[in-house]
Amino acid sequence: MGRDIANPLLLPEIRQMIAEKDEQGLSEIMNELHPASIAEFAEGLTDEETWELLSHGGEHRQALVFPFFSPEKEVELVEGIGREQMSKLLEAMPHDDRVDLLKQCDEGTVDSLLPLIAKADREDIRRLLTFPEHQAGSVMTTDYATLPPDITVQESLNRLRQQASERETIYYVYVVDDERHLIGFISLRDLVLAKPTAIIRDIMTEDIVSVRADQDQEDVARQMARFDFLAIPVVDDQNRIIGIVTHDDVLDVLQEEATEDIARQGGSEPLGRPYLSVSITHLIRSRIVWLCMLAVAATLTVNVLSIFESTLEQVVTLSLFIPLLIGVGGNAGAQSATTIVRALATEEVSSSDLFRVILREARVGFLLGGTLATLAFVVVWLAFDMNMALILSLSLIAICTLGSLVGALMPILANRVGIDPAVVSAPFVTTIVDATGLIVYFLIARLVLGI
Amino acid sequence: MGRDIANPLLLPEIRQMIAEKDEQGLSEIMNELHPASIAEFAEGLTDEETWELLSHGGEHRQALVFPFFSPEKEVELVEGIGREQMSKLLEAMPHDDRVDLLKQCDEGTVDSLLPLIAKADREDIRRLLTFPEHQAGSVMTTDYATLPPDITVQESLNRLRQQASERETIYYVYVVDDERHLIGFISLRDLVLAKPTAIIRDIMTEDIVSVRADQDQEDVARQMARFDFLAIPVVDDQNRIIGIVTHDDVLDVLQEEATEDIARQGGSEPLGRPYLSVSITHLIRSRIVWLCMLAVAATLTVNVLSIFESTLEQVVTLSLFIPLLIGVGGNAGAQSATTIVRALATEEVSSSDLFRVILREARVGFLLGGTLATLAFVVVWLAFDMNMALILSLSLIAICTLGSLVGALMPILANRVGIDPAVVSAPFVTTIVDATGLIVYFLIARLVLGI
């Protein structure tokens, strides 16, 4: 029967099964539920209970469940059991997931574990650990399936049957020559559909899209999304295959990048871990630098106002509209900045569209400002006087245009010089628009009031 | 050889091939390049040239390329050719992609096309068109593979071979009874690995995760991401399978949802289409309502300042710090709001964590404010006087705490009452913090100055 998610009502039952050492029940759970569901149940169990449950499945089954634990749970479990047992589990785990796990553990744990792992796996782990974060190499896995070009489809299927249990995916199979140069690609679907006597070389696709290990993971993810690939091969500078990135990693990468962009647009550094699992200090560190920089930038507004202090003394009413005006300017800037940052991220807009974008945003800002100005003119005229109405309306038009322009210009310029556009975030744009907007406001006021 | 993307240098060559009617070259391009690459090249061709290129591949091949065109190009191409030819192409297209295409076309085009399409396909299209946007039904496809439970693996593989060319994926196969009730699931990998004489019922997985057609597409995407599925079955209220959602759709959904959240956090409505393809009017419409609402909300600040106008007249210096203070408060609010909105979206935080989150944010805001206050105290003391230093420091602490609290509280409360937390966006939080922050500032000022 179709279940939607791990049912929390089952948790007490599982605890009881563990307490009663119900061999059959536990073994059914371990072997028939989806690994992700088992991992979800286990988040509600103690580490001892979790190991008791896991022990009712083989190493292969345990290795499937493990990557679905939260990073914290994984590390706890690793530290809690014998090194011997853990090394067996690591040998059976998908190659990319076990490296992710070891990256979370402290060096002492890793150093004590590695010698117990079979040589080939150990070397594989060491190699994958060397790739810097955010590069394709750091998300790729090395348990992909390959075939030589000169065998039949029948023989290929036999070979895949032998490889399958150790491979993360056998849906995409890569054809390599004796030196592992990537020369072709064939899907399991094509293999199943092909004549059993056909030769791989004759039916493989030679137009392969591949990536390099040092390419940015976001580029790789976008490429896979564009082609709807299940996996993409990673090659070295000799075009030899060294790994693959799979569809589930792409999801993680794109989610992670969106989270980072959103954090930066809110003026804080990405946390890198789930919100509730980071310390208060970590939260403060992710925000304090930006907040200080923005506060220092905001002292510009104090300077601007100091220049116009005499005007303010003469007409105190002017100060009443300061928060409103800079609020509206900031909002207009934030609207265009977030739109353009996202359009750059999803490649709807590129740096070469600079003038087109500027022109659009200038018109949009002018028209938005014009609409607000019309409303404001009437209201302020009634509540204050004609002069204030005129000052405010003109200022709104100028500030909205300014906000939209700066909001669009900053991300594109940042992109051109190679800075992450998300860093030139909405609050940063806001601060610039605040200071310049105030200057415009007071210049208009002096002009209208003749002071 | 590994190519990275559609090479723009090839475009002139393709144009020449088309001009010279190079049958062999064009047919090679159509049949050997990845459909996504062909579509990318075609974006640089006129509609006539594109059809010339497409005509060198069979209908099946054309149907594979079509979904990779931009929506605009697709619609142009549809309007440009004979209805007869288009109906053939629609019959061959993946079932979800053709519905997406028809949704873009105007009603007249759809009405003239539908009668030309084979009855079964026509009914399928009509049914898929009825599902509201953002529901699982609107992103599912109906060309999935099914098997009965009582046949052998050998027989299953034979049947899949027959179905394969018309199915979007055969990697996940659903086992159904005579009335299409979903009773099991088996992957092509399992089929390839199983003994040819085994019976499907004995080797299928019965623990199936399925979704309902009216479930929110974002929930479905998150579920698939959690289980690392390639596809998920969609069932009706009788547990009969009516479609599947595939991994490529999940990527699109999550990207779309992230884009929408980012737009809303920037205080504008999502555009729904690529930035450069929407009109100025569309851009203005996406922003004006929010901008007006925020401007109206900002009039609160005018009222607050009016109340304290006498205080402002007595000490004009107080007005100098207004933009700085509300800027900092706004930034602190935006930092916590974006963090919490994203944490809610990625399910790191739920509504039940309200008090934990509030407590964290209150501490973070207080400590951030304290840090800024210390810096500000020294600077303002030197530049102005002791009293102003005291007023500003105390205000910074209060406003940062307030900003962090409101920024965290609003999204969680919105989530509780069923409003999209992203709508309670950073600029909205900012406006609330602006008004209350000013009250706090002037109350502190009066207290310190004794006026």
User: pTM of the prediction?
Assistant: 0.77
The token duo for A298 is 């905001």
Average the pLDDT over B90-116 and give the result.
Answer: 83
Q: Which of B77-91, B176-190, B293-307 has the lowest mean pLDDT?
A: B77-91
Residue B145 near residue B161 (C-beta atoms within 8 A): no
Residue B11 burial class via C-beta count within 10 angstroms: exposed 0-12, middle 13-18, buried 19 and up: middle
From CA B341, how far away is CA B325, in angstroms rounded? 24
The token duo for B203 is 């080797």
Closest-CA residue of chain A to B431: A327
Give residue-wise pLDDT tens across range B153-165.
999 999 998 887 7
From CA A188, how far away is CA B192, in angstroms rounded? 9
Give residue-wise pLDDT tens across range A261-318.
888 888 888 888 888 888 888 888 888 888 888 888 888 888 888 899 889 888 888 9
Beta-bridge mates of residue A243: A234
- CB < 8 Å from B in window 78-137 of A: none
Least CB-CB distance to A427: which of B258, B292, B331? B331
Q: Where are the alpha helices (DSSP H) in A130-234?
A: 136-139, 153-163, 188-193, 200-203, 217-227
Query: What is the number of alpha carbons within 13 Å of residue B408 lying toward its C-beta?
Result: 25
State the DSSP string of B228-252: T-SEEEEE-TTSBEEEEEEHHHHHH
To the nearest 10°, report the CA torsion of B280, B283, B284, B285: 120
Q: Are the beta carbons of B327 and A291 separated by less than 8 Å?
A: no
Predicted local confidence at residue A7, as pLDDT: 58
Predicted local confidence at residue A47, as pLDDT: 84
The token duo for A390 is 């005129």
Q: Are the beta carbons of A334 and B266 separated by less than 8 Å?
A: yes
Average the pLDDT over A398-410 and give the result.
Answer: 94
From CA B29, how far away is CA B64, in angstroms rounded? 14
For residue A1, list chain B residues with Cβ-Cβ distance below 8 A. Answer: 208, 239
Q: Are the beta carbons of B327 and A298 separated by less than 8 Å?
A: yes
Average the pLDDT over B101-126 and give the result.
Answer: 82
Number of H helices and E strands in chain A, helices first, is: 23, 6
- CB < 8 Å from A in window 30-89 of B: 32-34, 36-37, 68
Please state the φ and ψ torsions of residue A28, each to the nearest 5 degrees.
-65, -45
Q: In which band, very low, low, confident or very high, does the pLDDT at B2 lie, cut at 50, 70 and 90?
A: very low
Q: Are the beta carbons of B182 and A294 separated by less than 8 Å?
A: no
From CA B442, how far away is CA A187, in angstroms rounded? 70
Residue B336 has pLDDT above 70, yes or no: yes
Put the strands of the sheet holding B241-246 in their side by side order. Answer: B211-212, B231-235, B241-246
From CA A1, how far away is CA B169, in angstroms rounded? 23
ipTM of the complex: 0.76
From CA A75, how far away is CA A79, in angstroms rounded? 6
Q: Are the beta carbons of A302 and B291 separated by less than 8 Å?
A: no
- Number of inter-chain CB pairs under 8 A, A vs B: 367
Instruction: Tell me the angle at which helices B426-449 and B280-307 cross, rounded to the nearest 10 degrees.
Output: 20
Q: Are the beta carbons of B192 and A226 separated by less than 8 Å?
A: no
Whole-number average pLDDT of chain B: 87
For residue A34, list chain B residues with Cβ-Cβ distance below 8 A. Answer: 207, 209, 227
Closest-CA residue of chain B to A343: B275
A319–B contact, CB cutoff 8 A: yes
Q: In which band, very low, low, confident or very high, does the pLDDT at A4 lie, cut at 50, 70 and 90?
A: very low
Predicted local confidence at residue A184, as pLDDT: 93
Predicted local confidence at residue A181, as pLDDT: 95
The residue with tokens 């007023």 is: B391
Amino acid type, B329: G
For residue B171, list chain A residues with Cβ-Cβ distance below 8 A. Answer: 171, 188-189, 230
Beta-bridge mates of residue B146: B174
Q: In which band, very low, low, confident or very high, does the pLDDT at B9 lie, cut at 50, 70 and 90?
A: low
Q: How many CB atoms lie within 10 A of CB B288?
A: 18
Q: Are the beta carbons of B367 and A230 separated by less than 8 Å?
A: no
Q: Considering chain A, what percentage of its residues have pLDDT values greater than 90?
A: 32
- CB < 8 Å from B in window 236-265 of A: 239, 247-248, 250-252, 254-255, 258-259, 261-263, 265
Q: What is the helix (H) or strand (E) element at residue B260, kind and residue range?
A: helix B247-265
CA distance A300 to chain B (A): 9
Put the strands of the sheet holding B182-187 in their side by side order. Answer: B145-147, B172-176, B182-187
- C-alpha A159: how far from its chain's center? 37
